[in-house]
Structure 1
Amino acid sequence: MTSSSLPFRVGYGEDAHRLGAGHPLVLGGVTVPSERGAEAHSDGDVILHTLADALLSGVAAGDIGQYFPDTDAAWKDLDSARIVSRVLDIVRERGYALGNLALVVTLDRPKLGPLRADIAANVARLCGLAPAEVGLSFKTSEGLAPDHVQARATVLLVRADD
């Protein structure tokens, strides 16, 4: 069976950013009230970056650095929703659709629990999924990495109907 005829594929991605004062904290396209945010070339949305990398890995299409290099001024302060939109186009071009996804965010503070429904709903909307298809977990580093935010994602891609 060739990879192009597989009924499903799994993708995995990770991203992390240092936190700094004077930067917004954007997670899943939702601005989180915080004194510190991600230091990044784009908007630093680790959820959407890791999701994009998971989607690309699932169809063996590289990573977001190949499509949106941080050395290119054109992508400065880029809204990561645009990254996800383009990457979903690549997934569709390769004959797959997103079935569901699981996300884990590690951040010591602020606590994200009160924003879980908003973040999950926005990620679902960006991906064309029902909110029930977006698993979202929050963890802390237990004080081991208080100055960064990290996300990990696993996606299930299903063969699109021709």
Structure 2
Amino acid sequence: MKIRVGFGYDVHKLGEGEELWIGGIQIDHIKGSIGHSDGDVLIHAICDALLGAANLRDIGYHFPDNDPSLKGIDSKILLRKTIDLITNKGFTIGNIDSTIALQKPKLKDVIPTMQKVLADTMAIDIEDVAIKATTTEKLGFVGTEAGIAAYATVLISKH
């Protein structure tokens, strides 16, 4: 069996009046992610981690931000296509560990929903999708609420 680990990171600027999508769900907040797609930093970080682990480059290579067909796309579609890419190379997901860095709003009550949506999208067990949330103690672009960041580590294997 071949085992590989991947790491992903994504950031998006936050703006008033934009929708805030994280982990495949819309969060009610006065600010949202600015991006070419729906701006879901968690899904983008997971996609990058999966693609990297399978040595398939990165999310921007497969889903460029200058492709008009991807404008406003639901990031769950990008995640499903990423799963297809790694599956076509013979890989399956072992588990995902991720962290969202966001000053506001607090996410603890919606994390179980995110886990379910992501597990369903990837067709894996909910126990294999860990999501944590943190602030940056009001430091940096996350702390000033100018942006949001997400980190993901994945384990994939090929039998």
TM-score by length of 2: 0.94
**Quick one: which of 79, 82, 87 aligns to 2:82?**
87
1:51 shift after superposition: 0.6
Q: Partner of 2:15 in structure 1?
A: 20
**Residue 135 of structure 2 aligns to which amino acid in structure 1?**
T
Deviations for 1:98-141, whole angstroms, at most 9, x for unmatched residues?
11100100000000011111111111111111111111110001
Distance 1:114 1:81 in 2: 21
Quote the offset at 1:7 in angstroms. Answer: 1.7
* Cα deviation code 1:50-77 (max 9, x no counterpart): 1100000001111111111111111100
**Which whole-Å CA distance do the structure 1 matches of 2:4 and 2:55 have between them?**
10
Alignment match, 2:108? 113
Q: How does 1:1-150 map to 2 (within 5 A)?
A: 7-144=2-139, 145=141, 146-150=145-149
The structure 1 segments of at least 4 consecutive aligned residues displaced by more than 6 Å after TM superposition are none
> Could you tell me how far 1:79 is from its partner in structure 2?
0.7
RMSD value over aligned CA atoms?
0.9
Q: Partner amino acid for 2:149?
A: Q
